[in-house]
């Protein structure tokens, strides 16, 4: 096999993807000086971490070293050890050097004087020394890991990088032979290399090229949307055909009534003759109408079938073999393992299964994190494995399979597994949980701690891990695609991480349900069953309303109120949809069922739905209505947090609450939540105004934002707790700042509770208020 051709193709992919990633990093670095600094820092950290991992996979040591040094600068800036302006300047200069290295991959392997100077500058700013860049030895061709050649020779590359970055190849051949080439965010596979002992066949190559064309990615996306719209329009045509048939039936019945009346009425012979002619014409018209309805119905059904086939072919054309991502993994795992003196055998199964082109980049990023964690955290050293009676060589297995419309990707290792007691202790040490909360966690809940931002079991930051950036990225990316992440682990035996996500995002089978007069859709892959909830089926589990499904208690929640809609259960035996996300189940009560069908999913447009919680997109229906498609992972997260109790708590007294926030929208939203709990609300626009009001009025509770002019929330809390007359008033901080450091600052200032705005709900707010008052 021509390993040099494979290596060049992988490097080309890295150049294209990293150029886009570098642009995101520069924009995020600039945002560090703005109000969105916290989110920008998280985004930059994730991009740098992924860039570093990919660079080390390909042996681009200089890029990996620069990204590592930049991570240290970002960490120092977030901890307040480095001025933001200084960190921003030096990181932007580092982006320029990284951009130069992308253009000269030889320098990216060995480094340059500019690289050394940049690393030194980054180290001086962060205060963390970076190991010197050692000599890089290019591996011999025989040492390269074997990679199965693609089944199809892709079309020749574009003449220029600009053209290659702007277009994608779609093979105009049967689906079993065609493999579209992905855009920059999902790079294309390299041409299949010829065997060393086999001369290339020009005639064969020419034949494949004659059956292949390049198609712009945007054109392919437009075709997908158009095919979905045409499919909906053909469904509307079927509906109109049915309505036309009903109209002709009414005319036929009216004609029969006319004939019966004419038989009972005495009329002159001349009129009788005209009536007989009219009767003959009526029978002829009825026959012609019947034939028209039949031909029209057959034509509409044929058209609908052809359009459905077209939509399937377009969706299939968007699928890219996962081998375009997996080809880089054997070398990557080998290089990572060698840095830790470990031996790893990577096994990949069913890499030829396709995934939607638009999902390829997110799937790749998620798997990069999983493989790095498996080598670094999962697999033991050879000496330790010998002591445990295991083979010296660790094993990582990637399995891919398709279950209906869903894609399952399992990453399994035979390493040490997860120590749940240690996970709990780490969470307590990092102040993510109190000791009491940690002790109450089940084994599964303890394992899910790894998905928390900032969580890491590494006590020191290393080249590979320790920054708490990893599994939270995997979970966020997969759930954004409408999927879920599951983890199973046995201590001493290994860990398996399962990604479950849709294979295609162009067309989706959904179950349509009714809430009031509106139609909502849920991905059929997330629906386990539909049922009617009988009064005797309800039960209480730890104060939460539940229903028994397949022998297990399942949380029972009214979907309308959960989405913020009016109404609720209006039936003695309400219909419900049992949905699943990972290992969690819930029965969502709805007002009725509409249908199950395949729809073309479109992103939310305009400001009305864009960014709304629980909403994944929209779909047009044949009757002209728009169905709102729900995002089941978000719903399940809310269900876990806000499962409705069976019994209402005793009526508490009406509290007088002071709400402090400089945002009018935030005050309106938070005030509505407090009022929904039956309390009265007064408002203040900043900390100074709030402190003045406390001197002249009596309050039972104070809710305050953090980032405000004049006097921020932390300073206000310290001033309140330092004033004896008002020090006993409970203070709850409501902030979008969600890092453990920010929460610690709030509690150190004297706050009685710290709630994150993005996670705020009626139930969580009620629990905090009840506890403090």
How far separated are the first and last CA of the chain, in Å rounded? 72
Mean of the per-residue pLDDT values of the chain: 76
> DSSP letter at 150?
P
The pair of three-digit structure tokens given for residue 653, joined into one six-digit string: 């007294």
Judged against a pLDDT cut of 80, whether residue 182 lies above it is answered with no
Which tens digit of pLDDT belongs to each residue from 124-173? Answer: 888 877 666 644 444 433 333 333 333 333 333 333 333 333 333 323 33
Long-range (24+ apart) CB contacts under 8 A made by 8-11 are 8/190, 9/189, 9/190, 9/191, 10/58, 10/190, 10/327, 10/328, 11/58, 11/105
Of the ranges 149-153, 238-242, 491-495, which is most confident?
491-495
Q: In degrees rounded to 5, what are phi and psi of residue 724?
A: -55, -35
In this predicted structure, what is the pLDDT of residue 23? 79
Least confident of 10-14, 31-35, 95-99, 768-772: 31-35
In this predicted structure, what is the pLDDT of residue 605? 53
Band of pLDDT at residue 519, cut at 50, 70 and 90: confident
Alpha-carbon dihedral sign for residues 140, 146, 149, 155 = negative
Cα separation, 96 vs 106, whole angstroms: 17
Q: Which residue's structure tokens are 């080809």?
A: 327
What is the 3-state composition of the chain as percent helix, strand, coil, each rounded to the nearest 5? 50, 20, 30
Q: CB atoms < 10 A from the CB of 499, how many?
A: 23
* Selection from 438, 436, 440 nearest residue 425 by Cα: 438
Pair 244, 293: CB distance under 8 Å: yes
Partner residues linked to 549 by β-bridges: 552
Which tens digit of pLDDT belongs to each residue from 689-706? Answer: 999 999 988 899 999 988
Prediction pTM value: 0.51
Task: Using DSSP, state whether 543 is helix, strand or coil.
Answer: coil
Average pLDDT over residues 14-21: 82
Angle between helix 61-78 and 84-103 (nearest 10): 170
Cα separation, 482 vs 20, whole angstroms: 24
Q: What are the distances in angstroms from CA 763 to CA 438, 602, 651, 653? A: 21, 32, 15, 17
In this predicted structure, what is the pLDDT of residue 123? 87
Band of pLDDT at residue 659, cut at 50, 70 and 90: very high
Judged against a pLDDT cut of 60, whether residue 651 lies above it is answered with no
Pair 623, 239: CB distance under 8 Å: yes
Q: In degrees rounded to 5, what are phi and psi of residue 394?
A: -75, 160
Least confident of 26-40, 173-187, 202-216, 629-643: 173-187
Pair 740, 433: CB distance under 8 Å: no
Band of pLDDT at residue 411, cut at 50, 70 and 90: very high
Bridging pattern class, strands 518-523 and 626-630: parallel
In this predicted structure, what is the pLDDT of residue 465? 54
Judged against a pLDDT cut of 80, whether residue 345 lies above it is answered with yes
Which tens digit of pLDDT belongs to each residue from 77-96? Answer: 888 888 887 888 888 888 88
Judged against a pLDDT cut of 90, whether residue 409 lies above it is answered with yes
Q: CB atoms < 10 A from the CB of 553, how many?
A: 15
Partner residues linked to 557 by β-bridges: 588
The pair of three-digit structure tokens given for residue 528, joined into one six-digit string: 């386990």
* Selection from 475, 524, 486 nearest residue 503 by Cα: 524
Cα separation, 339 vs 52, whole angstroms: 14
Average pLDDT over residues 101-116: 83
Average pLDDT over residues 64-88: 86
Q: What is the Cβ-side half-sphere exposure of residue 415, based on CA atoms within 13 angstroms?
A: 26
Which tens digit of pLDDT belongs to each residue from 291-339? Answer: 888 888 888 888 888 887 887 787 777 788 888 788 778 877 877 888 8
């Amino acid at each position: 096999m021509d390993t040099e051709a494979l290596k060049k193709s992988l490097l080309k992919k890295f150049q294209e993807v990293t150029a886009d990633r570098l642009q995101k990093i520069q924009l995020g670095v600039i945002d560090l000086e703005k109000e969105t600094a916290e989110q920008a820092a998280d985004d930059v950290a994730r991009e740098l971490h992924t860039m570093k991992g990919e660079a080390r996979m390909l042996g681009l040591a200089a890029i990996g070293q620069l990204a590592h040094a930049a991570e240290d600068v970002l960490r120092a800036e977030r901890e307040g050890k480095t001025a933001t302006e200084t960190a921003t300047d030096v990181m932007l200069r580092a982006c320029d050097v990284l951009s130069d290295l992308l253009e000269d991959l030889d320098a990216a392997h060995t480094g340059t004087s500019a690289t050394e100077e940049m690393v030194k500058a980054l180290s001086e700013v962060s205060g963390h020394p970076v190991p010197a860049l050692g000599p890089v030895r290019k591996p011999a061709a025989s040492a390269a890991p074997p990679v199965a050649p693609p089944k199809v020779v892709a079309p020749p590359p574009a003449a220029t990088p600009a053209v290659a970055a702007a277009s994608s190849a779609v093979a105009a051949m049967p689906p079993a032979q065609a493999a579209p080439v992905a855009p920059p965010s999902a790079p294309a596979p390299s041409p299949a290399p010829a065997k060393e002992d086999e001369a290339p066949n020009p005639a064969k190559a020419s034949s494949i090229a004659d059956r292949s064309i390049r198609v712009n990615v945007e054109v392919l996306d437009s075709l997908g949307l158009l095919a979905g719209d045409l499919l909906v329009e053909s469904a509307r045509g079927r509906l109109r055909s049915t309505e036309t048939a009903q109209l002709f039936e009414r005319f036929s019945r009216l004609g029969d009534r006319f004939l019966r009346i004419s038989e009972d009425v005495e009329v002159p012979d001349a009129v009788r003759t005209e009536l007989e002619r009219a009767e003959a014409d009526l029978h002829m018209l009825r026959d012609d109408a019947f034939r028209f309805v039949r031909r029209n119905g057959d034509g509409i059904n044929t058209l609908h079938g052809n359009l459905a086939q077209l939509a399937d072919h377009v969706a299939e054309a968007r699928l890219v073999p996962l081998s375009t991502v997996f080809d880089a993994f054997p070398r990557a795992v080998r290089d990572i393992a060698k840095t830790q003196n470990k031996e790893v055998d990577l096994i990949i199964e069913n890499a030829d299964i396709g995934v939607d082109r638009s999902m390829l980049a997110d799937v790749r990023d998620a798997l990069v994190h999983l493989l790095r964690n498996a080598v670094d955290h999962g697999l033991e050293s050879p000496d330790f494995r010998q002591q445990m009676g295991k083979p010296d060589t660790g094993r990582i297995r990637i399995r891919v399979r398709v279950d209906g419309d869903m894609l399952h990707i399992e990453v399994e290792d035979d390493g040490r597994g997860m120590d749940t007691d240690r996970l709990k202790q780490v969470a307590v040490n990092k102040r993510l949980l109190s000791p009491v909360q940690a002790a109450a966690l089940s084994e599964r809940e303890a394992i899910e701690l790894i998905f928390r931002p900032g969580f890491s079991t590494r006590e020191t930051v290393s080249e590979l891990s320790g920054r708490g950036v990893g599994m939270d990225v995997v979970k966020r990316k997969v759930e954004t695609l409408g999927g879920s992440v599951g983890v199973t682990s046995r201590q001493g035996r290994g860990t398996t991480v399962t990604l479950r996500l849709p294979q295609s995002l162009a067309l989706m089978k959904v179950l349509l349900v009714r809430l009031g007069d509106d139609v909502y859709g849920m991905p059929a892959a997330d629906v386990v069953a539909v049922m009617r909830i009988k009064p005797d089926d309800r039960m209480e589990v730890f104060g939460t309303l539940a229903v028994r499904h397949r022998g297990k208690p399942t949380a029972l929640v009214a979907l309308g109120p959960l989405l913020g809609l009016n109404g609720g259960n209006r039936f003695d035996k309400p219909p419900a949809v049992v949905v699943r996300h990972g290992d969690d189940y819930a029965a969502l009560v709805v007002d009725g069922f509409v249908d199950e069908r395949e729809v073309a999913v479109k992103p939310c447009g305009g400001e009305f739905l864009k960014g709304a919680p629980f909403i994944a997109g929209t779909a047009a229906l044949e009757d002209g209505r728009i169905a709102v498609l729900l995002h089941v992972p978000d719903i399940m997260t809310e269900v876990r947090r806000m499962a409705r109790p069976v019994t209402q708590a005793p009526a508490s007294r009406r509290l007088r609450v002071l709400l402090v926030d400089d945002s009018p929208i935030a005050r309106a939203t938070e005030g509505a939540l407090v009022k929904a709990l039956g309390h009265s609300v007064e408002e203040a626009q900043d900390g100074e105004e709030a402190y003045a009001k406390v001197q002249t009025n009596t309050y039972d509770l104070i809710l305050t934002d953090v980032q405000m002019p004049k006097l921020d929330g932390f300073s206000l809390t310290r001033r309140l707790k330092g004033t004896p007359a008002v020090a006993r008033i409970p203070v709850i901080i409501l902030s979008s700042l969600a890092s453990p450091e920010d929460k610690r600052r709030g509690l150190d200032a004297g706050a009685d509770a710290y709630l994150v705005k993005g996670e705020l709900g009626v139930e969580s707010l009620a629990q905090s208020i009840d506890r403090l008052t």
